[in-house]
Amino acid sequence: MADQHYGYPGSVNAAAWASLAPNVGAAQYSVGGVNDCKVVISAHADRGIEIKPGTITGDGVMDKFESSTFLAHSAVASGADRWDMVVLRRTWNPTPGASTYVYTIITGGTNKALPARNNNKGTLADQPIALCRIKAGSSVVQEIVDLRVWAHNGGAVANDELVMTYLNDIGTVVSIGTTAFDRVEWHREVDKDGNVYWRPTNTPIYGAGASIFGSNVPSNSALLIQAGSIVHHSDASGYARITWPKPFPNGLLTVVAMNGDDWALAMGGLTVAGSGNPVFGTEAIGNKTSWVYVIHGYATGYNDGPLIRKANLWHRINWIAIGW
């Protein structure tokens, strides 16, 4: 099947419009599927790259490439590594069928940054898709930074924050990150003084280790957080249970709990009931639905007598539970 190019000067039939409109209206730049127009290292030539087939949209037009494109970066004679940018270069021509759309390489500098590009929409414009690191004396591309964007139905996602260099119009909202743990949603905003800036709307959580309940958190799972403050009554043995307002779907990573009312506990505290608890067993240390703890304190008053389990005691616990 031949390549298809919609939105350039010339006729656009109903089928072309049905494909073009939702894509060009979703974002200024985007690609189709996960592997569409992806840049990968290729052994076809020294410092070679392959640009996978697929759909790529930008500046009001859409191009569908049915086969891969192969390019090669120029050598670095000596010194520091060089960062080249791979783009789709579009040249509009008022004569129907005379416009061009070719992948090309813009030679960059030693900084990991996007080099200058053509950006005269409707005349000559470059759409970034990757940044490649070229090393002196090497015949293989050292690193590829993905600059593609996916957009549909009111949202846009990308893999690297460098996309904010070119996808930076006021009002842009893009979620960036390579896993559920490092993904941040960024908003391009303007304040009352006319200052334009990027604002993150969420902060990722790093370093999730072994969990209390369930296998280790999968790398593609988002962490869920519940928290609260509860007034509770310990049982005859000094135990109490917190049941999460909503059970975690898969497992419990950790629990943080603390005394919420020192007057009630008279300088006492709480500990995890323990997996060997004769009543609660392994569920005591926590699971997807609840967590069991034991209240302890001095036998009478403040700092008076041995520490004991505090039976039938009203108390307050502040807690945070993290699961997935």
Concatenated DSSP letters of 253-310: EEEEEEES-HHHHTT-EEEE--TT-TTTGGGGG--SSEEEEEEEEESSSSS-S-EEE-
Q: How far apart are CA 33 and CA 18, in angstroms?
A: 17
**Residue 77 pLDDT:** 86
Where, residue-wise, is CATH 2.60.40 in the chain? 224-323
Buried b (16+ CB within 10 A) or exposed e, 114-132: bbeeeeeeeeebbbbbbbb
Which of 258, 170, 178, 163 is closest to 219 using CA atoms?
178
In DSSP notation, 157-190 reads EES-GGGGGTS--TT-EEEE-SSTTT-EEEEEEE
- For residue 77, the tally of other CB atoms under 10 A from its CB is 8
CATH number for the domain running over 224-323: 2.60.40
- Cα distances from 313 to residues 171, 236, 238, 243, 257, in angstroms, run 54, 9, 8, 18, 17
pLDDT for residue 210:
78
Predicted TM-score (pTM) of the model is 0.69
Q: Do 137 and 89 form a contact (C-beta atoms < 8 A)?
A: no
Instruction: Please state the φ and ψ torsions of residue 117, each to the nearest 5 degrees.
Output: -135, 165
Q: Which residues does 3 contact at the CB level (< 8 Å), separation at least 6?
A: 63, 64, 65, 66
Token pair 């005379």 in the structure block, residue: 98
Using CA atoms, how far apart are residues 306 and 303, in angstroms rounded to an integer?
Answer: 8
Cβ(3)–Cβ(11) below 8 Å: no
| Chain centre to alpha carbon of residue 72 | 31
Decide if 205 contacts 181 (C-beta within 8 A). Answer: yes
End-to-end CA distance of the chain: 45
Euclidean distance between CA atoms 169 and 188, whole angstroms: 7
Give the pLDDT of residue 17.
77
Q: Is 72 exposed, middle or buried (0-12, 13-18, 19+ CB in 10 A)?
A: middle
Measuring CA to CA, how many Å separate 229 from each of 62, 71, 201, 243, 244? 54, 60, 26, 12, 11
Reported CATH class of domain 4-150: mainly beta
Residue 87 falls in which region: left (phi positive, over 0), alpha (psi -120 to 50) or beta: beta
Q: CA 186, CA 178: separation in Å to the nearest integer?
A: 14
| pLDDT in the model for residue 38 | 98
Q: What is the mean pLDDT of each run of 10 residues along the chain (324 residues)?
A: 88 76 82 97 97 95 96 94 98 94 97 96 96 96 97 91 93 85 84 91 66 72 84 90 91 90 73 74 82 82 69 91 88
pLDDT in the model for residue 140: 97
* CATH 2.60.520.10 domain locations along the chain: 4-150
C-beta of residue 40 within 8 angstroms of C-beta of residue 144:
yes
